[in-house]
Chain A
Amino acid sequence: MSQARSVSQPLSHVTVKSGPRSCHPLRGQSLKSQKSGAPQAPGKTRARSRRVDPRLIIGGILVTFFVLLAIFAGPLSALTGNDPYTPHRELLDDNSVPTGFGGGISAQHWFGVTPLRGADLFSIVAYGAQVSLTIGIGATVISMLIGVGVGLLAGYFPGVVDAVLSRTMDVFFGFPFLIFAIALSAVVPASFPRELLLILVLGFFGWPSIARLIRGQVLSLRGRDYTTAARLMGASTGHILVNELLPGLLPLIIVRLTLALPGRISAEAALSFLGVGINPPTPSWGRSISDAVAWVMVDPMYLLFPGLALFLVTLGFNLLGDGLADALNPRARRREMVEATVDRTSGKATTGTVGTVTDGHNARPDSHDVREEVQA
């Protein structure tokens, strides 16, 4: 693995061979840096400046692309004089299926038109990005904030606080979300913006799974000696939560965040499918996908474009989050060290670090999977 990587990277200013490091990681690094006597932590900065994580680049490009698409949906659609509402029945045949190549792809209609109404599909995808991303990000942020807060408190204060918060989570888990959402959409006046309603509903039902995850991790981190050390030096609870525990949770939170986001977008799609989400004709990826399912045999492109958009934005967020989690986290490089641990007793010396990685493991298998896929 390390070999493959060293081949793929340009050896610009790096004079250090990657071989000895993987064999004798601790020793090699400390010796080197002592010799060089550089003012900054040389091991770290050198390692980082070696290359920018390709996941960050690809993920960043994808996410930026879709955010721009959402922001400039109006002007982009206007380029071809389209909007997501105007029907183009002249492009449909007798069965209301678009004529021409790929569902009517042309210079005028980049993604073709929808069956039945003949609306411009590119406009639908672009405007849909607005709705889907707003709801997805908004709902995720809300459930993240609540989930992390509740998880921190439940994990750090065992006893009554934990019991109350954990039972609350259980209630939310057992709550018939769908029925509640349907009922709510009937009760809430039509003047209340649907997007905001969806954000709130999805946000408030999304936090318990996050809280439970965070709680578990906090339980393991609060038992570590460094948390005890902070308590012993007279640190306040707030200091410990923010300074000692939160950094250890950050990778978990980021990975969870990027995984939750597409889930929220799908949930919006599901609700829209049931008719309690975004009302037609407002475009959203979710509704487009659910509409397109009925037409997939005669006009597969109708499904393909919004589906591809959802797929790419999901991939983008996953790559970005994964790369970010590693870039923020000095532990990431240890995985290589652990694999190459030479002596059983030197393994003992790094047990603590191995433990910290593996503890986070159950929560972050996805991140490793993605990493391996990308490198393959």
Chain B
Amino acid sequence: MAENHDDFAQQGDSTGLTEQNARTPDNQPQDSRPIITVRGMHVSFAGQDVTHGVGLDLFPGRITALVGESGSGKSVTAMALPHLDPSGASVRGTALLRDGETTIDLLSPDAPLQVIRGGRIGTIFQEPMTAFNPLLTIGRQVGEALDYHGPRLSREQKHERVLEQLREVGLPDAERIARSHPHELSGGQLQRAMIAMAIINRPQVLIADEPTTALDVTTQKAILDLLGRLTRELDLAVLLITHDMGVVWQAADTIYVMHDGRIVEQGPKQEIFAHPHQQYTRTLLEAVPRLDVASLERAADTNARDWAQEKKTCRHSSTAVSDSTALGVAGTAGIAENVDTTDKTVLSDTAGTGTGSSSPSTPAVLRVEDLSVRYGRGRASRQAVEDVNLTIGAGETLALVGESGAGKTTIARAISGQIRPTSGRVLLDGVDLAALHGRRLRQTRSDIGYVFQDSGSALNPDRTAGWSIAEPLQVHGMNAADRHKRVEKLLGQVSLPAELADRYPFELSGGQRQRVGIARALALRPRLLIADEPTSALDVTVQKRVLDLLHRLRCDYGYACLFITHDLGIVQEVADRVAVIRSGRIVEQGPMVEVLTHPHDAYTRTLLAASPTIGVRPE
């Protein structure tokens, strides 16, 4: 039900999109004076500046993107405008809001906050699910904003106004939405409702703090289109805070790039994307995993296999490195020897695939046959995954792509034996995991490495990084001295300094934590590595490094890899083959180049269309 409405709304917006696209860059809005002028803004905590003299101009009818990575200060900067900065922050500088013929200094301590908030500046947040009070209806919460601004309205007038506003943000079924509680709506619908709440008093400025980060790619596109339409129709000045260059490309007119509390570069979108001046901007742009179907098509025309092969082939040097590491550990503990021998067969496999073409004779490491999973029992049960068939060979990466709730993680959990399939089989090297028990099962599980999405939760906060990496070795009986050596080696392989072994997870950055998680997953030299959105919580430059690392390690270790993601750009970067999943069913499966260039299924085409494709490369 909810899905349908979302779809409908999307259609409504896509017409809006074509209009927006029709607008040429020089067809800028009439009013060229900025509505908000920020100059020399310093935000400081405990006497320490975190932003240094930030200057911004927001224009009516334009979406201005403030781009930066975690900790760059983009959110504190934006949130200081309506005085929503975190407690303990002190703000210096000026931010003038043009209000008719007068101006208001937003940063002055006696700024009329109740007028500014909601009345002049509307704000929407990252998590639509948590931004609403779960106990009140959407209609009541949207209408609440009317109580503090404008003339007093009767109940009926207010209700009418709310419905009107909900329709305007692309929720045609406004009566039902207004009656609903937050848990009854989808993320996209809630984000629309939040936008309705933010603009119901017709503010001049809308601050959108990562408005689509928590949403699926198709929903993201719909929300961005909606923002674009509202910007134009209401002459809104939108400040879009995001870390995602794809979002910037899709939505923004003007860009400010922020780094370590400073604006390092600013300019029109086309300009920044095509001719970035600053090294940082360049790094940022280069790190974005690009979905570039055109280049794939060109390549496919000439010789797809060669092209893909060239990209995926592991250099011989790296194989040699791994060989030496294998020798280094070999002959220490009995278990290590066992693992190493299997590892060497894997290496020879890789060599085979590396030199020859991707031959179908590669033995399948993982074979999933007619896998179905049902959650719950009886009437309340829910089919999560249905008749899924997958095969991954040694050294091959299969990307499993789909939106949230499609069943990606369920498949991963079934393969790794965390849940039992309702029907079907999972064969790892021909062995059915479900038929194993006790010691044999635990032994076989060591052939599967698992990298989690949330690196914060994946490591025990009470244990050092070194302990966590060594844990699988300890479980399988390696002695302390050998463990120490192996941990050191693993840290080197994931490009972390050895002294990091003594750190606790909270002393590590997100990227470092994820590397530790990868090192742990590789400690037992798995045959299969399951990576469940390993980079979705990371900054884009960090993501790039982690993806590169995974690629290099695959060459070294020769594991088969099930890579779960929602980002087609990442798919293009890492995958040999792709399986697209929707509502628990695989709708399309095939070689990466083929699926991305000639998608057969309508859903794959929808995904491709919704994915941000940055058309310009920095020169």
Which residues from chain A sit less than 8 Å from chain B, CB to CB?
A: 2-3, 19-20, 22-24, 26-27, 29-30, 33-34, 37-41, 43-44, 224-226, 228-236, 239, 243-244, 247-248, 250, 329-331, 333-334, 337, 339-346, 348-353, 355-356
Q: How far is the CA of A22 from the CA of B46 in the complex (A)?
A: 8
Q: How far is the CA of A348 from the CA of B125 in the complex (A)?
A: 13
CB of B71 within 8 A of CB of A24, answer: yes
- Selecting from B348-356, B389-397, B498-506, B547-555, the interface stretch reads B498-506
Whole-angstrom distance between the Cβ of A349 and the nearest chain B Cβ:
5
Whole-angstrom distance between the Cβ of B214 and the nearest chain A Cβ:
10
Binary flags per residue of B447-469, CB closer than 8 Å to A gives 1, else 0: 01010101111111111100010
Whole-angstrom distance between the Cβ of A259 and the nearest chain B Cβ:
21
CB of B73 within 8 A of CB of A351, answer: no
CB of A229 within 8 A of CB of B458, answer: yes
Q: Chain A residue with minimal CB distance to B455? A: A352
Measured between beta carbons, the chain B residues less than 8 angstroms from A20 are 48
Q: How far is the CA of A224 from the CA of B504 in the complex (A)?
A: 17
Measured between beta carbons, the chain B residues less than 8 angstroms from A337 are 506
- Selecting from B160-168, B292-300, B507-515, the interface stretch reads B507-515
CB of B460 within 8 A of CB of A247, answer: yes
B429 contacts A by Cβ under 8 Å: no
Q: Chain A residue with minimal CB distance to B445? A: A234
Measured between beta carbons, the chain B residues less than 8 angstroms from A33 are 499, 503, 507
B72 contacts A by Cβ under 8 Å: yes
B360 contacts A by Cβ under 8 Å: no
Q: How far is the CA of A2 from the CA of B88 in the complex (A)?
A: 12
Measured between beta carbons, the chain A residues less than 8 angstroms from B209 are 344
**Known A33-B499, A225-B454, A340-B46; contact A232-B445, beta-carbon cutoff 8 A:** yes
Q: How far is the CA of A30 from the CA of B71 in the complex (A)?
A: 14
CB of B450 within 8 A of CB of A329, answer: no
Measured between beta carbons, the chain B residues less than 8 angstroms from A342 are 45, 50, 71, 73, 76, 86
Q: How far is the CA of A22 from the CA of B48 in the complex (A)?
A: 9
15 A-B residue pairs with CB within 8 Å: A19-B48, A22-B48, A30-B507, A41-B503, A44-B503, A225-B457, A234-B441, A340-B45, A340-B88, A342-B45, A343-B50, A343-B70, A349-B456, A350-B506, A352-B455
Binary flags per residue of B69-88, CB closer than 8 Å to A gives 1, else 0: 11111111001000000101
CB of A352 within 8 A of CB of B46, answer: no
Which residues from chain B sit less than 8 Å from chain A, CB to CB?
A: 45-48, 50, 69-76, 79, 86, 88, 126, 209-210, 243, 416-418, 441-446, 448, 450, 452, 454-464, 468, 471-472, 475-476, 497, 499, 502-510, 512, 517, 520, 523-524, 537
Whole-angstrom distance between the Cβ of B480 and the nearest chain A Cβ:
14
CB of A349 within 8 A of CB of B475, answer: no
Contact partner, A19, options B46, B88, B126, B524, Cβ 8 Å: B46
Contact partner, B443, options A41, A232, A234, A339, Cβ 8 Å: A234
Q: Chain B residue with minimal CB distance to A231? A: B418
Q: How far is the CA of A3 from the CA of B45 in the complex (A)?
A: 12
Chain A contact surface mostly:
helix
Contact partner, A3, options B46, B86, B243, Cβ 8 Å: B46
CB of B452 within 8 A of CB of A330, answer: no
Contact partner, A353, options B46, B69, B503, B506, Cβ 8 Å: B506
Whole-angstrom distance between the Cβ of B288 and the nearest chain A Cβ:
16
CB of A27 within 8 A of CB of B509, answer: yes
Measured between beta carbons, the chain A residues less than 8 angstroms from B456 are 349-353, 355
Whole-angstrom distance between the Cβ of A347 and the nearest chain B Cβ:
8
Q: How far is the CA of A249 from the CA of B149 in the complex (A)?
A: 50
Measured between beta carbons, the chain B residues less than 8 angstroms from A2 are 46
Measured between beta carbons, the chain A residues less than 8 angstroms from B471 are 230, 233, 235, 243
CB of A234 within 8 A of CB of B71, answer: no
Whole-angstrom distance between the Cβ of B57 and the nearest chain A Cβ:
22
Contact partner, B450, options A34, A229, A235, A339, Cβ 8 Å: A229
CB of B45 within 8 A of CB of A22, answer: yes
CB of A343 within 8 A of CB of B76, answer: yes
CB of A349 within 8 A of CB of B45, answer: no
Q: Chain A residue with minimal CB distance to B512? A: A30
CB of A247 within 8 A of CB of B462, answer: yes
Measured between beta carbons, the chain B residues less than 8 angstroms from A26 are 71, 506-509
Given contacts A41-B464, A233-B445, A342-B45, 10 further A-B contacts (CB under 8 A): A27-B71, A225-B458, A232-B417, A247-B463, A330-B461, A337-B506, A340-B46, A346-B71, A355-B457, A356-B461
CB of A248 within 8 A of CB of B475, answer: no
Contact partner, A334, options B73, B417, B472, B506, Cβ 8 Å: B506
Q: Chain B residue with minimal CB distance to A26? A: B509
Contact partner, A349, options B462, B464, B468, B537, Cβ 8 Å: B537
Which of B450, B455, B457 counts the most A-chain CB atoms under 10 A from its CB?
B457
Q: How far is the CA of A343 from the CA of B210 in the complex (A)?
A: 12
CB of A348 within 8 A of CB of B70, answer: yes
**Known A34-B497, A226-B459, A343-B73; contact A23-B50, beta-carbon cutoff 8 A:** yes
In order of increasing CB-CB distance, the 9 nearest A-B pairs are: A352-B456, A234-B442, A247-B462, A41-B502, A344-B75, A233-B472, A346-B71, A225-B458, A330-B504
Measured between beta carbons, the chain B residues less than 8 angstroms from A352 are 454-457
Q: How far is the CA of A341 from the CA of B85 in the complex (A)?
A: 11
Measured between beta carbons, the chain B residues less than 8 angstroms from A39 are 499
Contact partner, B88, options A27, A247, A331, A339, Cβ 8 Å: A339
CB of B460 within 8 A of CB of A244, answer: yes
**Known A235-B442, A349-B70; contact A23-B512, beta-carbon cutoff 8 A:** no
CB of A228 within 8 A of CB of B418, answer: yes
Measured between beta carbons, the chain A residues less than 8 angstroms from B243 are 345
Q: How far is the CA of A349 from the CA of B45 in the complex (A)?
A: 19
Q: How far is the CA of A288 from the CA of B609 in the complex (A)?
A: 81
